[in-house]
Amino acid sequence: MPAIFVSKSGTDDEATILRIAAALRSHATISTEDDFRLTAKSLGYSDDWGYQFRVTRASDVMLVVLRGPHPTQQDGRDMSQGQEDEIFDAAWRGIPIVWTGTTDEGLRTAQKWYQIMSKNHPCLISHFFDARNLNDAGVRQLAHIFKNLISVEKPTLPHQFLPSQLTVFTHQISEAHELGWRPKDISTTSFRPVLRIEYGSHILKNPYAGDVPRSPVSLSKIPATIVSAPKGLIEVRIAIERAGVGELKLVWETMEGEEPDWCPFGSLILHWDFTCGSTA
């Protein structure tokens, strides 16, 4: 059964989450951090994050429930670092995000992030919903959005490689549409999709990416092939040349191989980590 993960900023929205779960009972399972937090806390720092990501990355849709600044944040951040990491890790891996607010402040925060995602990353599916004083009609409409988004074909991201072994990866670029989604027509673009391979950096080993110094990375690029422009279908033939860890970023480039200052499809399509060969 499809899975929906609820990323929440507090403990005051349990009743809302339970009502949504009841409306989706026959269509999807719903989980929150409460389902893994006790187990994860008994693990070491890296294993803790690994366990959390295994849960969040397995979801088909992520519901973000916001109330306002997180009580542990002293710097005015909208969310805790952990919540921010799990949300954008999911989004970069092609999992649709539904932003909701259950208070006035939470709604403003949800709307801000929805607008940022829609403008800067239109090839990542993002929706916005007002969950303040959620009534039965609102619950049904929100459940309808989830039922539509569950049908998005989540990319099966290759993340374990052997040196120089060829892996063929296909992806359908999509976009949010009305209360659901549709394939992205890329037939009019003057940009090309390219897979950037960044050796030496790894999302899972550095979950607080902004706070942990990163070792110098080396970079290589593989142009993607557009299989069907009207359907947004692309293919990448990936060969990782050496053992180690790194990140894969599927991005748009100009036809001259440069990163664009602006692209109507945003810059990022997908972003995930990989290991190649033995990393011991």
21: domain CATH number? 3.40.50.11460
pLDDT at 254: 84
Sign of the four-CA dihedral 80, 86, 88, 91:
negative
pLDDT at 9: 78
Tell me if 132 is assigned to some domain.
Answer: yes
Strand partners, 238: 167
Q: Are residues 182 and 235 in the same domain?
A: yes
Strand partners, 32: 6
Tell me if 193 is assigned to some domain.
Answer: yes
Please give the tally of structural domains in the chain: 2
Tell me if 155 is assigned to some domain.
Answer: no
Q: Are residues 17 and 104 in the same domain?
A: yes
Q: Which of 126, 149, 172 is the last residue of a domain?
A: 149
- E strand or H helix that includes residue 17: helix 14-23
Tell me if 56 is assigned to some domain.
Answer: yes
pLDDT at 225: 94
Q: Are residues 140 and 187 in the same domain?
A: no
Q: Are residues 118 and 167 in the same domain?
A: no
Q: Are residues 143 and 204 in the same domain?
A: no
Q: Which of 110, 128, 149 is the last residue of a domain?
A: 149
Conformation bin of residue 73: beta by default, left when phi > 0, alpha when psi is -120 to 50:
beta
SS3 262: coil
Contact 251, 269 (CB under 8 A): yes
Q: Are residues 60 and 98 in the same domain?
A: yes
User: Could you state, in chain order, the average pLDDT of each consecutive group of 10 residues for the chain (280 residues)?
Assistant: 87 81 87 71 62 86 84 65 86 94 91 91 92 90 93 90 93 93 89 88 56 58 94 94 87 82 77 80
Q: Are residues 36 and 93 in the same domain?
A: yes
Tell me if 173 is assigned to some domain.
Answer: yes
Contact 192, 253 (CB under 8 A): yes
Q: What range does the domain containing 249 cover? A: 160-276
Q: What is the Rg, in whole angstroms, of the alpha carbon atoms belonging to the chain?
A: 19
173: tokens are 């670029």
